Amino acid sequence: MARALNVIKPSDNLKQDFPALARLVNGKPVIYLDSAASAQKPQCVIDTMTNVMSEHYANVHRGVYTFSSETSIAFEDARKKVAQFIKAKTDREIVFTRNATEAVNLVAHCFGQSLKAGDEIILTELEHHANIVPWYFLKEQKGVVLKIVPIKPDRSLDMAAFEKLLGPKTKLVAVTQMSNVLGTVVDVADIVKKAHAVGAKVLVDGSQSIVHFDVDVQAIGCDFFVFTGHKLYGPSGIGVLYGRYDALNALPPYQGGGEMIELVTFDKITYKEPPIRFEAGTPAIVEVIGLGAAIDYLNGLDRAACHAQEKKILQEAEKRLAAIPGVTIYSTAPERASIISFAVDKIHPHDVATVLDQLGIAVRTGHHCAQPLMKVLGVTGTVRASFALYNTMEDAEKLIEGVQKVKKLFS
């Protein structure tokens, strides 16, 4: 599996690195277009995880014996890899969570403790439920006021409206860097600049963006950044909360338990510094190391070339889909990436997806965990095709042929 860095081009057909993509579905080679929900895993991730369990598995940070020290080193190496991948200043800014959802909940819970009734949190219409519900809890529990930035008719974020919502009561802005429904890319660095000017913190949901372009948390300047391992070609069960050290260190503990403490008596307990303060109990050892392997895999690719290829495939697929009569495309923001949300006139999204599945094509339908955005779009769901680094122009071709077949079947 060892490879020189930056030598792999998308034209080298990355599908061969992902064993699941060799499968036939309904007698056809699978065309996997649901990576925005979860990505396939390269062989090196699978091998690394197997290897931990078959070679040196033990709990981390505790044992003095060889298995434990080998596993602990691999575990902490993964934290360093994550820190470098998102250009954090130090690996002490990387907290491992179960997923992006837990990372947002952690910040909402811990940061939320300092909030009081009337304090304001700004969200956007683009958010995934994971970046809505934890803040809604604060509205229920504390009387915090949620303000929502609308999208414009072209489905980009309305920055002028955002600026109007910002004010002295704004304590936090929670915003996605890329919509999982529309692919809309948000200028989060600009949001951070404006939010910081009124003293508000910013949490960026990078669950989609980190998959499709390079992330530099220091350049963004955000206080918190979250993402989830399984969309970044890593395993499920592992997510990341980045917190700039001062922002992270200002938070009280999240869950209580082993690991996160310094000294425990029944009268007084003291807590460790970040990131361990936020990692109570035995972590997802194998998954953390698996995420590290996914990052190794990505570092071994010419990612700029991969991203450019994804863009070409997206543009071609959009152009061809738009040319099919009766197809409406919702993902139209000027800045967008790797996702097409669409509908076929008079055919339920579910039926579209079911026919496509017969052809071996996996797309997602429904509200995509973004019911408020569906309401804004005036639909109950869309069909979503999402592209990842292993997709090819031929996959886009197959999608177009598939949609044409759907139309014929229902006409």
Give the footprint of ligand PLP on this chain (CB under 6 A).
Answer: 99-101, 128, 130-131, 176, 180, 205, 207-208, 228, 230-231, 239
Q: What's the order of all strands across the beta sheet hosting 170-176?
A: 94-97, 239-243, 224-228, 201-205, 170-176, 120-124, 145-149
Q: Which amino acid is at 278?
A: F
Compute the least distance from the CB of residue 239 to ligand PLP, in Å: 6
CA gap 13, 230 in Å, rounded: 21
Sign, Cα dihedral of 9, 11, 15, 16: negative
Residue 147 or residue 231: which is nearer to ligand PLP going by CB? 231
Residue 231 or residue 307: which is nearer to ligand PLP going by CB? 231
Stretch (H or E) spanning 243: strand 239-243
Compute the least distance from the CB of residue 66 to ligand PLP, in Å: 34
Compute the least distance from the CB of residue 388 to ligand PLP, in Å: 13
CA gap 163, 150 in Å, rounded: 12
Compute the least distance from the CB of residue 46 to ligand PLP, in Å: 19
Alpha-carbon separation of residue 304 from 21, 39, 65, 341 (angstroms) = 23, 19, 42, 24
Q: What angle do CA 285, 22, 298 make, to 5 degrees?
A: 45
Q: Which of 110, 222, 306, 369 is catalytic?
A: 369
Residue 324 or residue 369: which is nearer to ligand PLP going by CB? 369
CA gap 300, 224 in Å, rounded: 27
Residue 206 or residue 274: which is nearer to ligand PLP going by CB? 206
Compute the least distance from the CB of residue 97 to ligand PLP, in Å: 9
Determine the 3-state secondary structure of 327 from DSSP: strand
Whether 369 is catalytic: yes
Contact 124, 175 (CB under 8 A): yes
Length of the chain measured in residues: 411
Compute the least distance from the CB of residue 209 to ligand PLP, in Å: 8
**Phi, psi values for residue 86, rounded to 5°:** -105, 10
Residue 227 or residue 355: which is nearer to ligand PLP going by CB? 227
Residue 234 or residue 300: which is nearer to ligand PLP going by CB? 234
The residues annotated as belonging to the active site are 369
